[in-house]
Structure 1
């Protein structure tokens, strides 16, 4: 992921990261969330804004990066059902095991919690630009883009109920720079989502799914499981661990 981090540190990458963060901030504001886990770090340490008593952590395998926990997204050393919202930032298209990444996200997600998946859309101008890219593959063109419908299907297999995907960033670079130069007065940066009619052509899609458990409801605060690390977690997280093997991390409630 190092090359992807470096791309997000470029002006083009920072522009996209800012737009994605604004959309994520708007969606998080409408969800029940006391603990938010962002899997994947932007090049400049950008994250969606959270408010009130919400706690937020950034997990990535980026040694020395602007993160709270260094870990592999395929096997995260976190207790099951320990966070209310998991946000995957371009993780599925830049890993050799996307199924395992989304399974791990579902595992650490609490019942009735939400999974937000941000990814590049193959059925867009970004996807076309990726196909015609020449030379050695570099981010963001080197990823294996996944259609939002496929991501929604994976969510359903994991017991989640997906929402209608949202799209943004129709134009890839350098077409966006050209459009900005030609239509500066028409740019409207306040609204990031393209709306339901145009979401399918967005270069980036956001798919949101809710983890459904029969008979479950958002439990009272004192009953919710702590955000916990599993000692030796890289070996134990994927297979699960007993409660006695877990310890609290950065959370008193």
Structure 2
């Protein structure tokens, strides 16, 4: 998939997110991202792509940016909830315009599966993250009802999801992260309802979200994985809260002294 095709796929994703299934996905991901980012501290946070959600809404870092590969025009007459947020930085996913080791948190909602060079995107994210910085990635799960429906749609020509370069499984994503010294710390799955296009049928299958999280947790339509940048040979050292005192000489019992004298 070349860059032009990738842009078309991202445009298709924008339209799909306005559908009932897209709003269902955005609602779950917004809730999960709020829980994950609330307790991540630092100074600089960056969201790349998918301005339809505010991945940093619950985060308290003083400097936050929304970046994407293009600036989306505002639609006249659109409802406020359907208007994407304004992009602060327009960039190429494979060449981030940030200094090395300058960002504390990077969130990538559905960027890698639509990028022609997902490995390079991850390498750039690893470069700009500070040591112990964190990255959060959202992706469509191929091992799910949505993934199975998409695989059938490729054959029949009736896709359920926007046509991506390739859906990346969770184990494969973890392997990619490990190669870049990004240790996956936790992961979450969601959107267990079947691939329904109408709000009526999604509402009927709402019970599957609770059942799926309990009985088949790894088969959710989407996943979110969180990873931490590990730097070899580097350890965070906390403050010395107490001063060490000189160790007092240990008294030797008299019986031990006599026994040593008798033993020579």
What band does the TM-score fall into relative to the shorter chain?
0.7 to 0.9
Asked if 2 retains the 8 angstrom alpha-carbon contact of 1:50 and 1:56, the reply is no
Whose RCO is larger (CA < 8 A, sep 6+)? 1
Partner of 1:211: 229
Structure 2 gaps of 5+ residues are 1-9, 74-85, 239-264
Asked if 2 retains the 8 angstrom alpha-carbon contact of 1:60 and 1:70, the reply is yes
What secondary structure, in the 3-state scheme, does the structure 2 residue paired with 1:194 have?
Answer: helix
1:56 equivalent to 2:64? Answer: yes
Aligned-residue CA RMSD in angstroms? Answer: 2.9
Name the structure where helix makes up a greater proportion of residues. Answer: 2
Structure 1 residue 137: Cα displacement: 5.3
1:14 equivalent to 2:19? Answer: no
What secondary structure, in the 3-state scheme, does the structure 2 residue paired with 1:106 have?
Answer: helix
1:95 equivalent to 2:103? Answer: no
Structure 1 or 2, whichever has the larger Rg, is: 2
Structure 1 residue 41: Cα displacement: 2.0
1:75 equivalent to 2:95? Answer: yes
Q: How many residues are paired up?
A: 214
Distance 1:138 1:63, change over 3 A: farther
Alignment map for 1:131-150 (pairs within 5 Å): 131-133=151-153, 134-135=156-157, 139-150=161-172
- In the superposition, the TM-score normalised over structure 2's length comes to 0.71
Partner of 1:27: 36
Aligned equivalents of 1:45 and 1:22: distance in 2? 10
- CA deviation vs aligned residue, 1:10-40 (integer Å, no higher than 9, x gap): 3431231121011011001132343211111
- CA deviation vs aligned residue, 1:189-243 (integer Å, no higher than 9, x gap): xx9x937x64310110111110011324399xxxxxxxxxxxxxxxxxxxxxxxx
Distance 1:90 1:78, change over 3 A: same
Distance 1:157 1:187, change over 3 A: closer
51-60 or 157-166, larger mean C-alpha shift: 51-60
Structure 1 gaps of 5+ residues are 220-253
1:40 equivalent to 2:59? Answer: no
- In the superposition, the TM-score normalised over structure 1's length comes to 0.74
1:123 equivalent to 2:143? Answer: yes
209-218 or 137-146, larger mean C-alpha shift: 137-146
